[in-house]
Amino acid sequence: MLAYATRHFSLAVPVILIVAVLAFLLMHALPGDPASVMAGSDASPAEIERIRVQLGLDRPVIEQLLLWGWNLLHGDFGRSLTLNQPVMSAVVERAPVTLSLSLLALAITVPISLVLGALAAYRRGTAVDGIVMVLALAGVSVPGFWLGILGITLFSVKLGWVPSSGYVPLSSGVGPWFASIILPATVLAFFQIGFLARITRATMLEVFEQEFIRAARARGVGEWRIVSKHVLRNGLLIIVTACGVILTMLISGAVVTETVFALPGIGRLVVQGVFARDYPLIQGVLIIIALVLVVVNILVDILYRLIDPRLR
């Protein structure tokens, strides 16, 4: 297992290198002179020069790339131009918001989509299946930000059940924290449920056709036991496999959801960076998230091997 883990991590090294180069290239893809773009149209030449020197843009590209890599190796992900702080600390400050949002969305997604997917597969071809599949299809077709605005209009403005925007940290009490993110998390979960329920159903359909299910039925094992013990167990594997993809989608969704609900998370940070032309910030956040996701995906693969006895 240790050998497997080491091999897996070493396979990720080239990917991480390319991720770093891509993030570096992004800033150099800016049309014209990056320093003057970042300084804005009304900046003085001195201001532009200051940014150029601060970001090392006055040096040869290769030197900049090597320096970028060297800094990354030392955990230096660059410094934001507008926030006047290292990107890493800006990300760490905002991480609780994005994590709360994503994890709560995940907690909503997993049980609901497992049950819906299994139900649809079990009742294949019936009205139940039809309804679940239409719901799931709606989940992956309705834009999250629109659903968010609808939700705010209904639950915050009309009914006044939850605040319409803003984030309350967990340290201010579980209730207010929950109230501040339950609506965004539900909206975020909607897409994931659609996605995961469809995968679950497809996989479950295959499971239901396996020999061991027929054997269990032939032995007179009750239907409930077959579903809960044999089929759902295979469902766990789907969840673990899809985890990496879902996490990536959650972060994508979080960027949009945080904008709709004015939550001060990492996604919002990037969007602010875009409008402030704070490219080092965008670049830094991008690479931090990519690195986290690469590592998570490796861990998921390892976890998968641990869970599935056939691969052990």
Q: Please tell me what DSSP assigns to residue 172.
A: G
Q: Which is nearer to another protein, 136 or 185 (CB)?
A: 136
C-beta of 177 vs 191, nearer to another protein: 191
Residues 32-91 that bind another protein (CB under 8 A): none
Tokens 């201010």 belong to 172
Binding status of residue 211 toward another protein by CB under 8 A: no
92 part of the interface to another protein, by CB under 8 A? no
Q: Residue 151: CB partners within 8 Å, gap ≥ 6?
A: 183, 186, 187
Structure token digits, residue 282: 């965008």
Q: Which of residues 236-265 bind another protein (CB under 8 A)?
A: 248-249, 251-253, 255-256, 259-260
The only residue of 5, 8, 9, 30 in contact with another protein, by rule CB under 8 A = 30
CB of residue 57 to another protein, shortest distance in Å: 14
Residue 45 beta carbon to another protein: minimum distance, rounded to whole angstroms: 22
Interaction of residue 274 with another protein, rule CB under 8 A:
yes
Q: What angle do CA 85, 73, 80 make, to 5 degrees?
A: 20
Contacting range for another protein; rule: CB under 8 A; set: 53-61, 108-116, 220-228, 282-290: 282-290
With respect to another protein, which residue has the nearer C-beta, 153 or 228? 153
Alpha carbon distance, N-terminus to C-terminus of the chain:
8
DSSP 239-264: HHHHHHHHHHHHHHHHHHHHHHHT--
31 is a contact residue toward another protein (CB under 8 A): yes
C-alpha to C-alpha distances, 4 to 14, 28, 155, 225, 238, nearest whole angstrom: 17, 37, 49, 35, 21
Residue with tokens 């800016």: 30
**In this chain, which of 275, 309, 311, 312 binds another protein, going by CB under 8 A?**
275
Stretch that binds another protein, among 63-71, 73-81, 110-118, 150-158 (CB under 8 A): 150-158
Could you tell me the CA-to-CA distances from 131 to 127, 201, 215, 254, 308 in Å, in that order? Answer: 6, 13, 30, 27, 32
One-letter identity of residue 17:
L
Q: Which residues pair with 79 in a beta bridge?
A: 86
Rule CB under 8 A: say whether 150 interacts with another protein.
yes
Q: Could you list the residues that contact another protein (CB under 8 A)?
A: 14-16, 18-19, 22, 26-27, 29-31, 124-125, 129, 133, 137-138, 140-146, 149-150, 152-153, 157-158, 201-202, 205, 248-249, 251-253, 255-256, 259-260, 267, 270-271, 273-275, 277, 279, 282-283, 285-286, 289-291, 293-294, 297
